[in-house]
Amino acid sequence: MSRDPQLRVGLIGFGLAGSAFHAPLIAAEPELRLASIVTANPERVERATRGFPDARVLPDADALFAAADEHDLVVVATPNRFHVSYALAALEAGLHLVVDKPVAPRSAEARRLADAAAARGVVAAAFHNRRWDGDALTVRRLLGARALGELVRFESRFERWRPEVDAARWRERPDPENAGGVLFDLGSHLIDQALWLLGPPTRLYAEVARRRPAAQVDDDVFLALEHPGGITAHLWMSHVTAQPGPRFRLLGSRAAYVKYGLDVQEAALRAGERPDAAGFGSEPPERWGMLGSEDASERVETEPGRYLAFYEGLVAAIRDGSPPPVSLSDATVGLELIEAARESAERGVVVELGSG
């Protein structure tokens, strides 16, 4: 591997994940250099060449792995069905690894990746970037300060209004290898945030449904998680929500926190804003959440969101041996909860998950 000041990165995939999230974040981290981008789509080739002129554009992953000695890190940002095969190829080449969420269609495959990374002695991380949403960081701050008293219920929503099925989207197709549907897509974020903020649950109940007439995968899901200490987490993810509920609603013994609206970073990145620019990730005061009760409440400043922290943490893990920003073990637990949710919904039962 390179001893250059910068770690050389090969990015596989230049769709939404690769072009709007990974490439700008990699380019903004001084200790990383985007060395190559893998895409064969002519329009994406043109965008990659224009946006990142110093990176080579390669036609397929084989070309990247043929030049493995010219890379230090591989980022897999492809459709889900290719995550495991490309990740294994990167690990077999002795390269550090980032895999977009969900890491794999099944938890057993995520464990296989974690074992392969450990055997090779390389850093492997799951891109659960929404731990660095401004509202998630704010919730963590409030919980750490016990601003709500004893937390009783944690509500989290990721809801969209997509009443028509777009059959051209691979996430709408039922092949299990696609890991399609809203539970894998939006649910991966919500479940990871709940695990990060509250720890592992002991029991789970789920309702997994297809509401749109032409839907072939789940598009409306509710999860109830029971955590130690009597905390209940309710998670909603949906494509059929014409009027979304609060992004977060936390109920405590002294106060509640209610926050509407999604983190601003995705929209900013898609608009071409630089993630290292001053003020990036900051929310205007009118979007801040409310803390208090029905008798007295006040706006609470939202922490600036900072997806760039993921890649900063990854560099520290590679350079200094720090823990990865999101371990494959954490991602595996999230996939196990997705599998438990499907079991709960199919059988109509509460699933016991152990001691937590």
Statement to judge: residues 146 and 284 lie in one domain: yes
Last residue of a domain, one of 127, 153, 181: 127
The pLDDT score that the predictor gives to residue 356 is 43
Q: Sheet holding 151-159: strands in order across?
A: 297-300, 289-292, 256-259, 248-252, 151-159, 231-238, 220-227, 203-209, 351-352
Give the chain's length.
Answer: 356
From CA 150, how far away is CA 45, in angstroms rounded? Answer: 52
From residue 64, alpha-carbon distances to 57, 60, 338 in Å are: 10, 7, 32
Query: According to the 3-state scheme, what is the secondary structure of the chain?
Result: CCCCCCEEEEEECCCHHHHHHHHHHHHHCCCEEEEEEECCCHHHHHHHHHHCCCCEEECCHHHHHHCHHHCCEEEECCCHHHHHHHHHHHHHCCCEEEEECCCCCCHHHHHHHHHHHHHHCCCEEEECHHHHCHHHHHHHHHHHCCCCCCEEEEEEEEECECCCCCCCCHHHCCCHHHCCCHHHHHHHHHHHHHHHHHCCCCEEEEEEECCCCCCCCCCEEEEEEEEHHHEEEEEEEECECCCCCCCEEEEECCCEEEECCCCCHHHHHHCCCCCCCCCCCCCCHHHCEEEECCCCEEEECCCCCCCHHHHHHHHHHHHHCCCCCCEHHHHHHHHHHHHHHHHHHHHCCCEECCCC
The pLDDT score that the predictor gives to residue 4 is 60
From CA 299, how far away is CA 258, in angstroms rounded? Answer: 10
Does residue 328 lie within any of the structural domains? Answer: no
Is residue 60 within 8 A of residue 86, CB to CB? The reply is no
Statement to judge: residues 162 and 266 lie in one domain: yes
Residue 255's CATH number: 3.30.360.10
Statement to judge: residues 299 and 266 lie in one domain: yes
From CA 33, how far away is CA 329, in angstroms rounded? Answer: 27
From CA 326, how far away is CA 65, in angstroms rounded? Answer: 24
From residue 226, alpha-carbon distances to 44, 81, 200, 202, 343 in Å are: 44, 31, 9, 6, 16
Last residue of a domain, one of 127, 156, 181: 127
Domain tally, the chain: 2
From CA 207, how far away is CA 349, in angstroms rounded? Answer: 10
Statement to judge: residues 208 and 252 lie in one domain: yes
Is residue 182 within 8 A of residue 219, CB to CB? The reply is yes
Last residue of a domain, one of 127, 147, 164: 127
Statement to judge: residues 148 and 98 lie in one domain: no
pLDDT tens digits in sequence order for the chain, 356 residues long: 445 689 999 999 999 999 999 999 999 999 999 999 999 999 999 999 999 999 999 999 999 999 999 999 999 999 999 999 999 999 999 999 999 999 999 999 999 999 999 999 999 999 999 999 999 999 999 999 999 999 999 999 999 999 999 999 999 999 999 999 999 999 999 999 999 999 999 999 999 999 999 999 999 999 999 999 999 999 999 999 999 999 999 999 999 999 999 999 999 999 999 999 999 999 999 999 999 999 999 999 999 999 999 999 999 999 999 999 999 999 999 999 999 999 999 999 999 997 54
Domain that includes residue 341, residue range: 130-306+337-352
Does residue 137 lie within any of the structural domains? Answer: yes
Q: Could you tell me which residues are beta bridge partners of residue 151?
A: 252
- Comparing CA positions, the residue from 129, 132, 134, 235 lying closest to residue 182 is 235
Q: Could you tell me which residues are beta bridge partners of residue 29?
A: none
